[in-house]
Amino acid sequence: DGRQYIIKEINISKMSSKEREESRREIAVLANMKHPNIVQYRKSFKENGSLYIVMDYCERGDLFKRINADKGILFQEDQILDWFVQICLALKHVHDRKILHRDIKSQNIFLIKDVTVQLGDFRIARVLN
């Protein structure tokens, strides 16, 4: 289909039970997140002591790298506002499902080919009762 994917490899064989639970939680959370501003989960599988999570590839990297690459160059106010609105929409979608991301930072905000940003890395997310 011409799409690119990224596979996140997690070595679960040497993890504590708490860390393994965090990895399982990330999969459960991602599997229920369908939103244009959230990195799209595709599938997961275990093999040879590792857990693999397949997600859409965000070809422009994360916002942290973009900020560092453009040091000394100011972003346009409209661009910043657009990214902010998209992040707010992603967080509203997450919070409407009673989930807390708990790790909002520029390294977890990803850029895709157009001007779209996507929230990712739900490893330490918590589902509220």
pLDDT of residue 76: 93
Give the domain CATH number at 93.
Answer: 1.10.510.10
pLDDT of residue 24: 84
Query: Which residues have a Cβ under 8 Å from the Cβ of 27 and sit 6 or more positions away?
Result: 41, 44, 51, 53
Instruction: Determine how many CB atoms are found less than 10 A away from the CB of residue 34.
Output: 10
pLDDT of residue 53: 92
pLDDT in tens, 71-106: 889 999 999 999 999 999 999 999 999 999 999 999
Q: Which of 10, 102, 97, 51 is closest to 119 using CA atoms?
A: 102
Cα 109 to Cα 49, 66, 82, 120: the distances in Å are 29, 10, 13, 6
The range of the structural domain enclosing residue 123 comes to 5-127
Q: Residue 95: in which H helix or E strand, if any? A: helix 77-96
Q: Which tokens hold the place of 26?
A: 């990330």
Unique residue bearing structure tokens 């790298």: 65
Give the chain's domain count.
1
Bridge partners (DSSP) of residue 8 are: 53
The CA distance from 36 to 86, in Å, is 9
| Known catalytic membership, residue 103 | yes
From 82, 103, 114, 121, the catalytic residue: 103
The SS3 of residue 94 is: helix
pLDDT of residue 96: 96
Full pLDDT tens readout for the chain, 129 residues: 788 999 999 899 989 998 888 888 888 888 989 999 999 999 999 999 899 999 999 999 999 999 999 888 999 999 999 999 999 999 999 999 999 999 999 999 999 977 899 999 888 888 888
pLDDT of residue 66: 93
CB 77 within 8 A of CB 30: no
pLDDT of residue 56: 94
pTM for this one?
A: 0.86
